[in-house]
Amino acid sequence: MEEERSFSDICGGRLSLQCRYYSPSCREFCLSSPRLSFRSLTAVTCTVWLAAYGLFTLCENSMILSAAIFITLLGLLGYLHFVKIDQETLLIIDSLGIQMTSSYASGKESTTFIEMGKVKDVVINEAIYMKVIYYLCILLKDPVEPLGISEVVPVFQSAKPRLDCLIEVYRSCQEILAHQKDTSTSP
Amino acid sequence: MLLKAFFPTCCSSVDSGLLVGRWVPEQSSAVVLAVLHFPFIPAQVKELLVQVQRASRVDVAVLGTWCHSQQEPEEPLGHFLEGLGTIFPHDPWLQLCRERGSNSWSCKVSCQQAPAALGVPCEDQVMLIFYDQRKVLLSRLHPSAVLPDHQAGDAPASTRGLAAVFDTVARSKELFRSNQFNEGPVRLSHWQSEGVEASILVELAKWASGPVCLLLACLLSLVSAASTCRVFKLWPLSFIGSKLSTCEQLRHRLEHLTFVFSTQKAESPAQLMRKANMLVSVLLDVALGLSLLSWLHRKNRIGQLADALVPVADRAPPVSLQHVAEELQHLLQWLMGAPAGLKMNRALDQVLGRFFLYHIHLWISYIHLMSPFIECILWHVGLSACLGLTVALSILSDIIALLTFHIYCFYVYGARLYCLKIYGLSSLWRLFRGKKWNVLRQRVDSCSYDLDQLFIGTLLFTILLFLLPTTALYYLVFTLLRLLVITVQGLIHLLVELINSLPLYSLGLRLCRPYRLAAGVKFCILKHEAGRPLRLLMQINPLPYTRVVHTYRLPSCGCHPKHSWGSLCRKLFFGELIYPWRQRGDKQD
């Protein structure tokens, strides 16, 4: 079952959330950010090339122009491969674990999988970052202390959705976690 | 809990049979290792399972049945398959089924125990997870805490999380020995059922490595015995040996080679990786050294280098030792005049300047003495590059240290003079204020001085104070020169450290066979139809490059600068001598 809704992030940009319910024990949430806009790309390229042309008229060295082209290309490739995250996915599978995938604009995907045995809970935290923002995070169990928390793993860090979107995801996750706790054989 | 069935992808299209694997009750997961085909004799199957259990310490058992047929199995076959559950009692009993030619799977679980223990078994309660058996067998999980060490053979297989799956597959090599070309009593299907894969070169290398290691280990033990003989423990040689970085580097490399060619087998995969890394590092070192050697000998570059260092005829090349010495002389003449407009104390200035100029004069005569031999020395030193680029770089660093020995001497003289002056000044300043340093109590106490003590003390204080700018300037100039030399040497050492400690084999493995070094797993959901069990594909998430370098770094020489910037500045201000790196075994300051 698939559902697509549209939300906004903390800066006001548009986000689109796709929820897929594969089975009562497996759900996937896919948050897509808007792609790289043509306008910003042309603006940056024009500024860099104008600056390079200005330097060229001062120095009369054509190496500056080729260097500017080179830098623009490398910068764009680096930005697409290492910085621009197009889609963030959260896959939660009952009794297996939680998987977070970030897909970059160049197609690179970076995945982290947390086993269900390590997950203590999924919560929405408040943070103060020039204003109050909310973020969803996964709390991991501490192997030494049974009631303690060893790590807090934030989810959807680059998309930064608002509270309404987070509540949707939170509710679904809590359903699965509750189901998992009910049927879990270990205490 | 949801029941997870881990199924190898290589068995998706084999004929019907029994599922053989391990059941992990803590995770409620069944790890299928192989499929046993009909016809079989139950007694022989049980015998094989007992044999495998004993050899690998993994509880291998028959987990259920696998059916790969044209359509849904008819009733008689269905009953037959269920009946097998009585011959091989296992709880829960899995029944996997796949339609030939399509991708529709079905899975049924039945258990004799009370249903409450596992929840009501129905379609939604089983998950099929496919895994690539060969990749899971060869990979090693790297948990974030500690470098994994293969568990000792006596310990039972782990049951924690996904490490259980990796462990089970890795330990079941015994089960994968028999393939369909063997004339055994049972026919198994697994990743090696098409025949055991091996490379002739690898097998030959394994056969040859035994005697080669023995021979090299003997040679290396001879070399290390020679190097620890009594002659080298006598005072001049041991002192020189501890100061030269070349000896340290050679010792380091000798240790590496002894470890690599030792006749003991590697105890753990971590040790094997370390051996491989060391071997590749040594080979790369030697290769780079040989290429440097060939470059030097082409076009008589050594001759050109020798000419550049020492002028033979009346030419004046841009860089030469004599030129450097002459520049130093000019610098001292400048200091003896009015450097940067500061007014120096003439008498002290002249004394210090003449003292240092005499040293430079000695140095220039020394260079003239050495000039006929430079080319020969350089050629022999160049030969040492075949031991490795690191050795050549260490020799370069030592040569720089030797050639700038006069700068080092000047720095020591200047620093000692300045240090004495500062201590004298601070002590007399205390006297000026009527205080004294109490050595017993390690603090400053007030003290009543006699008049003549005060008079002499104040006089000396004034003299020292007015002579301070001159000494300070000489100290500053020579310290800067010394720091420049230290920076150059430090850069060379950094390069040597890089070559020594970079784990090239691990990086190469991460590049070419990323599944061998696993940081974790990732799941991908396959096409899902309603009413069918959920199917996932488990893939290996490789370790990022930075973690590979961090985990498999080779231990370095240990010659690191031990000062922080703060203590360095403090030492410079008070004129204490700085030793930028301590060799291993030296006591701390």
**B interface mutation test: which of A91, A185, A186 has the most B CBs within 10 A?**
A185
User: From the CA of B119, how many Å to the nearest CA of chain A?
Assistant: 7
Q: Which of A93, A111, A185 is the closest to B28 by Cβ? A: A185
Contact between B371 and B308 (Cβ < 8 Å): no
Least confident of A74-78, A142-146, B481-485, B509-513: A142-146
Name the residue with tokens 């004339």: B183
What was the pLDDT predicted at B237? 76
Q: Which residue stretches of chain B have pLDDT < 70?
A: 1, 71-78, 112-124, 144-159, 179-185, 194-196, 232, 309-320, 557-563, 580-589
Q: Are B451 and B434 in contact (CB under 8 A)?
A: no
What pLDDT, on a 0 to 100 scale, did the predictor assign at position B151? 44
Output B263 or A127, whichever has higher pLDDT: A127
Chain B residues touching residue A28 (CB < 8 angstroms): 525
Task: Tell me how far CA of residue A12 lies from CA of A37, A168, B220, in angstroms.
Answer: 16, 18, 69
From the centroid of its chain, how far is CA B209?
24
Number of Cβ atoms within 10 Å of the Cβ of B277: 24
Give which of B529, B419, B493 is closest to B103, Cα–Cα.
Answer: B529
| The pLDDT of residue A52 is above 80 | yes
- Amino acid symbol at B566: G
Closest C-alpha among B353, B192, B524, B300 to residue A93:
B524
Task: Show residues of chain B in contact with A185, CB under 8 Å.
Answer: 1, 25-26, 28, 117-118
Put simply, the answer to whether A96 touches B2 (Cβ < 8 Å) is yes
What is the largest distance, in Å, between two alpha-carbon atoms of chain B? Answer: 123
Among residues A87, A139, A136, the alpha carbon closest in space to that of A114 is found at: A139
Q: Which residues of A87-124 are buried (b: 16+ CB within 10 A; e: fewer)?
A: bbbbbbbbbbbbbbbbbbbeeeeebebbbbbbbbebee
CB B574 within 8 A of CB B547: no
Set of chain B residues whose Cβ sits within 8 Å of the Cβ of A117: 160-161
- Find residue B193's DSSP bridge partners: none
B562 vs B342: CA distance, rounded Å: 36
- Amino acid identity, position B54: R
Residue B529 at interface with chain A, using a CB cutoff of 8 Å = no
Provide ipTM, 2 decimals.
Answer: 0.86
What does the CA dihedral B305, B308, B310, B314 come to, rounded to 10 degrees? 140
- Farthest CA pair distance, chain A: 76
CA distance B427 to chain A (A): 55
The partner residues of B29 in beta bridges, in order of sequence, read B4, B24
Which residue of chain B has the CA closest to A179?
B1
- Top pLDDT among B259 and A73 is at A73
Is residue A17 within a helix (H) or strand (E), and if so which, with residue range? strand A14-23
> CA of B419 to nearest chain A CA: how many angstroms apart?
50
Taking the CA of residue A183 and the nearest CA in chain B, the distance in Å comes to 5
The pLDDT value recorded for residue B578 is 78
Question: Percent of chain A scored above 90 by pLDDT?
Answer: 60
At B225-268, the pLDDT tens digits run 887 777 767 777 777 777 788 888 888 888 888 888 887 777 78
CA angle B224/B493/B409 to nearest 5° reads 95
* CB-based contact, B522 to chain A, within 8 Å: yes
Instruction: Tell me what pLDDT residue B277 has.
Output: 92
Beta-strand pair B534-542/B517-525: antiparallel
Nearest to B522 among A28, A95, A111 (CB): A111
- Distance between CA A32 and CA A7 in Å, rounded? 10
Cis geometry, peptide bond prior to residue B92 (ω within 30 degrees of 0):
yes
Residue B471 tokens, joined: 């000494």
Identify which of B299, B325, B307, B301 has the alpha carbon closest to the alpha carbon of residue B371.
B307
CB contact under 8 A, A93 and B521: no
Q: Please check whether residue B406 is in contact with residue B359, taking contact to mean a CB–CB distance below 8 angstroms.
A: yes
* DSSP code per residue over A104-126: ETTS-EEEEEEEGGGEEEEEEEE
Tokens describing residue B289: 């050294």
Kindly list the residues from chain A whose CB atom is less than 8 angstroms away from the CB atom of residue B129.
96
pLDDT of residue B117: 46
Alpha helices in B337-373 (DSSP H): 346-370
Note the Cα A131 to chain centre separation in Å. Answer: 20
On whether the CB atoms of residues B6 and B29 are closer than 8 A, the answer is yes
Is the distance from CB of B30 to CB of B6 less than 8 angstroms? yes
Q: For residue B42, what pLDDT is reported?
A: 83
Chain A positions in Cβ-Cβ contact with residue B161 (cut-off 8 Å):
115, 117-118
More confident call, B299 vs A156: A156
Which has more pLDDT, A94 or B113? A94
Tokens of B15: 């004929």
Sheet holding A97-104, edge to edge: A2-8, A14-23, A26-32, A85-93, A97-104, A109-115
pLDDT at A89 over 90: yes
The pLDDT value recorded for residue B147 is 41
